[in-house]
Structure 1
Amino acid sequence: MNRFKIHVLGLASLSLALLAAPPARGASLQKVNQGEWGVDGLPGYVNMYIYVPDELATKPPIVVAPHHCQGTGPGTFSEMSSLVSIANTSGFIMIFPEATGQNCWDAGSTRSLKHDGGGDTGAIVQMVKYTLAKYSADPGRVYAVGGSSGGIMTEALLGVYPDVFMAGVSLMGVPCGCWAEGYNDVTGTGSTAQWSGPCGSGSVTKTGQAWGDLVRSYYPGYTGHRPRLQHWHGTDDTILSYKNMAEDVKEWTNVLGLSETPDGTDTPRTGTTRQFWKSDCGYTVYEAFSMAGVGHSVPFDGHAVAAYFGLDRAGGQDPETAACPGAVPGGDDTGGAGGAGGTGGAGAAGAGGAGGAAGTGGAAGAGGAGGAMESGAGSVSSGGAIGTGSGGAGGQDASAGSGDSTGEESSSSGCSCAVGDDARGSGTQAGLLLAALGLLLGRAKRRPR
């Protein structure tokens, strides 16, 4: 056997080894002992899981991802794999809190709806404080995202701890404080534990002022920055009624000091209506997405969540901070333009600007290609924020591509809404390796003996 054939066979062996072996990565989801992150005086059933990528950004941001009813920390880690993948490249930390052995999160008790009052919200904030200290993380870049009970908890965290969180994405959530109405404050896995029938059914209504006063009562005297929010809801949701969307609008516009009349309304794609509100500096700080014909099934897309938080690239400021120097925590007069934003225009969370804040001073986007939603059975665009699970919903600045889907289980008084996230393989790399191998073998056959 001549040297060339030996060389080809060696390359073949190496190529096959590369195909068979996944990329080496030391990072993995880790459970943190309660005694380490500080559970004293907090609910003993709340546990902490953390994902720290191999290469952390300088002053890494933090994303908190509370699970849906009957969910787990490791389960949410799997469901949000697309966001975890981005954490690996952008260097941010993810916290996956778990209400172990409980039906849902407690977002309705007095202890949870009081700043420094303890409860589940207090436990999650304690995890954030632990992570900030241990990893020298960025206190101005702490975010929350979740669906169903995780969405409810996201809005509670933003309302009760506005000094901790910069922004959130709530999928199928309810207004902060709504869950306290008729709240069943019992622990356990029963279908009515930690559940609010009145809020779930959409029968809780208040004026915007009443909602705002309620949220402000959870942290009396606080006058600082209030987190921005995206809220997504299907019009056919019967688990957490779509009626809560109107209440959410009243609450957050009041909390953020905005008019209830949106600054704009558009239809990014057929079946999806977006309303958006801008702050005094022109940055979109609240968005409400209504998805016609969609039930309690809003799939998760980490790519657009990362873009909304400004985590689709390593380093930099929060996009709102960059766009509004001096007006938000961490902002200054030389904070920069926050990215060109390309031609994102109307896109609320696409890569080209948050809520239409494209151009200089916009959301440090990559160019406006990413759409929020893509039609089809649970498919979303590669740059989109949310899929539909049942097809027919639209997207913003959408580019084509398949994406993430979700499964759903529900009961009459509780739900387990699994936020789906498809894994992406190494097909492209495999194809390139096999093609190169084919060329080498072909040359070997033609080489004269």
Structure 2
Amino acid sequence: MDKFQSRVLGLASLSLALFAALPARGASLQKVNQSDWGAAGLPSYVNMYIYVPDKLATKPPIVVAPHHCQGNGQGTFSEMSSLVSIANTRGFIMIFPEATGQNCWDAGSKRSLNHGGGGDTGAIVQMVKYTLAKYSGDAGRVYSVGGSSGGIMTEALLGVYPDVFMAGVSLMGVPCGCWAEGYNDVTGTGSSAQWSGPCGGGNVTKTGQQWGDLVRSYYPGYTGHRPRLQHWHGTADTILSYKNMAEDVKEWTNLLGLSETADGTDTPKSGTTRRSWKSSCGYTVFEAFSMDGVGHSVPFDGPAVAAYFGLDTAGGQDPETAACPGAVPGGSDPGGAGGAAGTGGEGGAAGTGGAGGAAGTGGAGSAAGTGGAGGAMESASSGSVGSGGAIDAGSGGGNGQDASSGAGDSTGEESSSSGCSCALGSDARGSGAQTGFLLAALGLLLGRLKRRPR
């Protein structure tokens, strides 16, 4: 073999190696048939979309991402592309439920606000159960994140199904149960306008005990772990009034057995104030972020959400479970949790038979500025807020909602009136052009070698 042939074959080998090193792009958002995930007896308009990375983690965690008003599964998948990108590397599954053809999620009807009662909340939980069974998922690492109607649904899921969800991030949400006040549900099925004027306007007020008792009534007898929550709200929000933040604090501190007075207050970034509360084991269980002068446009930050859920690193336990063994489901104390969230303990005494601790002993992930990004949506002072876009809705429109383009977003997406838009830049990195170039180069090199006279 002469030098020319050696060089050609060397280049060919290099091309093949580069081609083999290109990232796989097989995973895509898939719609799951209602008959497969078990939609019988549940709202017929609710559909399931799922994203399963090519390489799953062992016992993969699950993140549910309910959309905003007039949103859909495909749109939320694009809007949360920064979190999807992390799913690709960390191997967790994302569920994108869709209330097809509806205005907003039903978080106000009796059937949705009743554990085991069906409704939109029951449909989403059924999707989680299907995913846990099909993919051998980690029942102790199920989370929810959403903005506007998706934030409202997140808080409803955590309140009505505390045995299923470990934690949630609510952007511009409202307290669980608030949406039932003046809920426009003429048919009684949750399939009407799905809007609560009193709650949206911030006119529903209760004491902490009243809020706590209301949520506990949705799952009578439950004494197990209560999910941790991170709530973000702009002080200038006129779509879902900022006044709901004060009610949220009263509700979740009561549910978690905490004082309404925060354990700490700081400013992770100019214009953003964070109040935080810790459980008896010293872990932050509830965080309330107020963004000065921000309307219905709180930015979405996928890396910060992943950090809060403990999904920024591969494998391991939920960070709260790891920090408070024996106090939450999945802890190492043999007399404590004894299993994954929701697999036991309901109705028993706290800490017995798998309850995993009294309500209020849960935690929320490290605070901003400790151990890196630390789960705060601001990602400390790195300026990542708005880097991907915003879960955003402007003023006006039907039902008081009209979307405007996201802060910091390059796409400028807008939704129609009475909807909320999450306009995030895409994280996708296409490899088709690179692949074509390498294959073409390889073909030319091999063809030249074949034609060269010996």
Retained in 2: the 8 A contact 1:284–1:357?
no
Counterpart code for 1:175: P
User: For 1:179, what is the secondary structure of its paired residue?
Assistant: helix
Q: Quick one: which of 351, 354, 379 aligns to 2:366? A: 354
What is the RMSD of the two structures over their aligned residues, measured on CA atoms?
3.2
Deviation at 1:24, TM superposition (A): 2.5
Q: Distance in 1 between matches of 2:44 and 2:368?
A: 43
Retained in 1: the 8 A contact 2:62–2:142?
yes
Give the unaligned 5+ runs of structure 2: 337-362, 402-417, 442-454
Retained in 1: the 8 A contact 2:172–2:232?
yes
User: For 1:68, what is the secondary structure of its paired residue?
Assistant: coil
Larger relative contact order (C-alpha < 8 A, sep ≥ 6)?
A: 2
Deviation at 1:5, TM superposition (A): 7.6
User: For 1:304, what is the secondary structure of its paired residue?
Assistant: helix
Q: Quick one: which of 371, 380, 403 aligns to 1:397? A: 380
Q: Distance in 2 between matches of 1:110 and 1:319?
A: 33
Aligned residue in 2 for 1:440? none
Aligned residue in 1 for 2:423? 420
Residues 195-344 of structure 1 mapped to structure 2, 5 A cutoff: 195-333=195-333
Residues 78-117 of structure 1 mapped to structure 2, 5 A cutoff: 78-117=78-117
User: For 1:98, what is the secondary structure of its paired residue?
Assistant: strand
Aligned residue in 1 for 2:170? 170
TM-score of the two chains, using structure 1 as the length reference: 0.79
User: For 2:158, what is the secondary structure of its paired residue?
Assistant: helix
Counterpart code for 1:207: T
Q: Distance in 1 between matches of 2:95 and 2:201?
A: 30
Q: Distance in 2 between matches of 1:419 and 1:294?
A: 15
Q: Distance in 1 between matches of 2:77 and 2:183?
A: 28
Counterpart code for 1:202: G
Deviation per CA, 1:404-440, whole angstroms, max 9, x where unpaired?
113644525144222232223659x99xx9xxx9xxx
Retained in 2: the 8 A contact 1:236–1:293?
yes
Retained in 1: the 8 A contact 2:105–2:150?
yes
Deviation at 1:12, TM superposition (A): 10
Aligned residue in 1 for 2:390? 406
Structure 2 CA distance for partners of 1:106 and 1:29, relative to 1, 3 Å: same
Q: Distance in 2 between matches of 1:243 and 1:400?
A: 27
Retained in 2: the 8 A contact 1:151–1:174?
yes
Aligned residue in 2 for 1:443? none
Retained in 1: the 8 A contact 2:201–2:239?
yes
User: For 1:75, what is the secondary structure of its paired residue?
Assistant: helix
Q: Distance in 2 between matches of 1:57 and 1:13?
A: 30
Deviation at 1:398, TM superposition (A): 2.5
TM-score of the two chains, using structure 2 as the length reference: 0.78
Structure 2 CA distance for partners of 1:407 and 1:333, relative to 1, 3 Å: closer
User: For 2:389, what is the secondary structure of its paired residue?
Assistant: coil
Structure 1 range deviating more: 325-334 or 252-261: 325-334
Q: Distance in 2 between matches of 1:184 and 1:206?
A: 20
Does residue 1:52 correspond to 2:55, yes or no?
no
Aligned residues: 385
Counterpart code for 2:390: T
Give the unaligned 5+ runs of structure 1: 336-347, 359-367, 373-384, 387-394, 438-449
Aligned residue in 2 for 1:345? none
Deviation at 1:2, TM superposition (A): 5.0
